[in-house]
Amino acid sequence: MKHYMKHYGVLPDMFVIEGCKAGGHLGFTKEELPEGTAKSNDEILKEVLEVAGDIPVFVAGGVFDGGDMAHYCMAGAKGVQIATRFIATEECDADEVFKQAIVNATEEDIRIIKSPVGMPARAINSPLLKRLDEGGTFPALRCSGCLTACPKNDSIPYCISRALIAAVQRDWENGLFFTGSNAYRVDKIVSVAQLIDELMQEYEHCLKVR
């Protein structure tokens, strides 16, 4: 905040806390995640609120239902960010293969992987990940230099850009399907309107109960 005020004369419009239950790349060490020692959303929210002042703080990562929304808002957040559940909606432009991968996923299918960019990430177990477990590779045809953290040599087991694009292009065999930790709780594809109605009803109910 001090850096941006000094160099640009602005403060952030909001902060989004992305906790350890999020999908995709995670800002935690590979040891913290499996051992369960990563800070919780509640712990991070409390720390950020102490320094954020009047800047709104939103919570993301593992936020699944209206009960979660109510919990974080009562703890001081101004809102939440929900991603995985909106993939499994009719309006989402993700391919049907991606949506069904979420609907069909079990809790055991959701795993932490090592990304070529050097960070742990959460994804649905897929043929690509199984091949990588067995020592297989999915190399880039050529390195496009899109991510500076990727090693530019043969040690890279797969190109994350190609794998993510494959997921978008309905390639179940070669795709990398990032998802949050609660994806296994999604059991059907619904419209955005239905999902928002469900979330808000749960949210309002929890506020009344509490």
Residues 128 and 153 in one domain: yes
CATH number of the domain encompassing residue 32: 3.20.20.70
Number of domains present in the structure of the chain: 2
Residues 100 and 24 in one domain: no
- Of 93, 83, 85, 95, nearest to 195 by C-alpha is 85
Residues 142 and 197 in one domain: no
Least confident of 71-75, 161-165, 202-206: 161-165
Residues 181 and 191 in one domain: no
Residue 119 is predicted with a pLDDT of: 87
Residues 12 and 48 in one domain: yes
Residue 35 is predicted with a pLDDT of: 64
CA angle (24, 108, 82) in 5-degree steps = 40
Residues 110 and 175 in one domain: yes
Residues 202 and 128 in one domain: no
Q: What is the rounded CA–CA span in Å between residue 63 and residue 44?
A: 14
Residues 181 and 193 in one domain: no
Residue type, 194: Q
Residues 80 and 101 in one domain: no
**What DSSP string runs through 133-190?**
HTT--B--SS-----TTS-SSTT-SB-HHHHHHHHHTT-TTT---B--TTGGG--S-B
Q: What is the mean pLDDT of residues 196-203?
A: 97
pTM above the 0.85 mark?
yes
Residue 168 is predicted with a pLDDT of: 86
Residues 71 and 105 in one domain: no
- Of 60, 85, 93, nearest to 179 by C-alpha is 85
Residue 102 is predicted with a pLDDT of: 96
Strands of the sheet containing 110-114, edge to edge, are: 24-25, 120-124, 110-114
Residues 72 and 126 in one domain: no
Give residue 39's domain range: 2-87+187-209
Residues 31 and 54 in one domain: yes
